[in-house]
Amino acid sequence: MKGEAAVYADIHTAMLDAVCDTISSALIIYDRDDHIVFINNRLLHYLPVCETKLKVGTRLRDFLAAVYDGRRKIDSDSLPRGVEREDWIAEQLSSHWKERSETVEPRAGGRWLRLVKRRFPSGMGICVITDISEQKQREDQWRSDIERVQLTEEILDTLPLSIFVKDRNTTYVAVNKAGCTLLETSADLILGRTVFDIHADPLASRIDTMDRHVLETGNPAILPERVTRLTGEEVLVITRKQRVGKPGRYFLVTTMDDVTTFATAEADGKSVIRGLEHMAFTPSSYLEDEHHQSLQILKGRSILLVTPNAHLGELAHRKMVTVGVDCAVAASHAEMKAFMEFAASASVRIDLVIVDVQLDIACLDLPQSYGLDAMTVDDFQLESSLINQITRHFRFHDHALPLALADESPEISTGSAPTPLGRAVLDVLVVEDNNINQIVFAQILESLGLSYKIATTGKQALQLFEQEKPSFVLMDTTLPDFDGFEATRRLRKMMVAAPNPTPIIGVISLAFEGDRQACLDAGMDDMLLKPVSPDMVEMLFKRHMPHSQDRIRG
């Protein structure tokens, strides 16, 4: 029987040796008394230890001591500095008694070893040693590649020129920050898409034809263009397209460089670039058509935006006003419902309701109950791509309500808030031609308990002021006949003999440098920036009419 057991032991040993060779690992097995019961010769490839220490029955301490001595002779740099021999052996023994332990250690010649140790409940222990030098090299190379890519992205993002990269299927695979700014969208809405996902025909087809021609022929293209932004600003750019890469892995790189600062004005009023006088700057095939379409689609639309984020709400409001959208902002379901009820009672059209995804589903259901079109947006879209989102919505939804006729005769509106007995003077005259803003002011003033009337033109403002003698005037600066600045100057002439001139507050859609001073120069007492809120109106009322604070409903 003893002979048979020895044969089985030899078979098991041979199998373990074969397994270790197969997985290119060294294996040490030791019992509860830390005596080695199995060790294979592959260990000689990994550790500087003599073959005499690779015998069954050797104490683990003696084996570790031999390892230390060998490393000290040929690879002393891999040993921790300031640690004595006995301390190092004791530390290693301690790690072998942990239930689980894994370390990665450097060796001479740029080699790396992984040591995985286990101690089982029976007291038996095992240590597997593997050479991971190639894996470490791949990891280091991968890490270096990642760092290089990140550095490249940072460099591209700091460049002032717009950069777009497409693969051989003309799908966007890279874009820098300047490129996102140029298209007024975000990288997430560009990458992985084609030009047909971003632009509409025929613009998308023109761009795609040019891109494919450069990809197929390898002939670079250069095109000077005039780009008109949504704000009306015109810039001159040099667009370059070139093919890079190898056959089968070609990429198309498009750069657009803003050269407006280098332009000089010619006698005919056109701008040219010194050294490029022979090149005519044509309207941009990338943006001018797209912006023109956006302006045509959006101008005159009436939109209600519902978002609890005041900052993004104001930012989105300014963007929509820039492209001619009549916009109002509500912060909650209650404000949204009140606005819709008022709009329905006043027969004011709302073309679209935009609902922040953060709000309850009831905010999305409410527009449907009024028969209104609705869409959802998140904070990222509010900040980066709102205009594009709205444009696409109206472009693909033909059921949007028709725009109001430009020649409709405006009517003077009167607030429904009851005037208390004994109060003969009108509280507020609102001069505002925009239907959406009229509703906003009406809701605010009614919530404050103030009587009001609304004039839609400068001429009506003068008539109502003469008839009603209001205590307060909210004056929009953009009116269909003459602007609010001129209307204010005429009102001030009517108040020359008045002992207490009526406060006039200018209402501005977009505040630019000098706007406040322009309001003051025209005779206004203060400036109010849209979108307005009850707190803002109440603050101005109390600031300029402190003696009348008891008029405001608490």
- What confidence score (pLDDT) does residue 523 get? 92
Q: CA 7, CA 4: separation in Å to the nearest integer?
A: 5
pLDDT at 369: 84
Answer whether 443's CB lies under 8 Å from 342's CB: yes
| Domain boundaries along the sequence of the chain | 19-136, 159-291, 299-396, 413-551
pLDDT of residue 35: 92
pLDDT in tens, 314-360: 888 888 887 788 888 888 888 888 888 888 888 888 889 999 888 88
pLDDT averaged per 10 residues, the chain (length 554): 51 64 79 89 80 83 88 78 86 89 84 91 91 87 84 82 90 88 77 81 78 88 70 73 88 86 52 48 50 70 90 85 85 88 86 87 83 82 76 62 36 45 69 85 84 90 90 90 89 86 87 76 88 81 74 59
Check residue 412 and give its pLDDT.
Answer: 43
Q: Tell me, what's the pLDDT at 512? A: 65
Is 368 in a helix, a strand, or coil? helix
The phi and psi torsions of 118 (rounded to 5 degrees) equal -135, 140
Q: Which amino acid is at 205?
A: S
Per residue in 129-188, pLDDT (tens digit) is: 988 888 888 888 888 888 888 888 888 888 888 899 999 889 999 999 888 877 777 788
Check if the beta carbon of residue 236 is closer than 8 Å to that of residue 199. Answer: no
CATH 3.40.50.2300, domain 413-551, yes or no: yes
User: CATH assignment of 19-136?
Assistant: 3.30.450.20
pTM of the model: 0.41
For residue 536, give Cα distances in angstroms to 54, 444, 540: 86, 10, 6
**Right CATH number for 159-291 from 3.40.718.10, 3.40.50.360, 3.30.450.20, 3.40.190.290?**
3.30.450.20
19-136 and 413-551 share one fold:
no
The predicted pLDDT at position 156 comes to: 81
Closest CA to 436 of 423, 454, 422: 454
Q: CA angle at residue 453 from 450 to 455, to 5 degrees?
A: 145
- Strands of 221-228's sheet, edge to edge? 172-175, 162-166, 249-258, 234-246, 221-228, 282-283
Residue 163 — φ and ψ, nearest 5°? -125, 130
Q: Which CATH number fits domain 299-396: 3.40.50.11230, 1.10.3720.10, 3.30.70.20, 1.25.40.10?
A: 3.40.50.11230
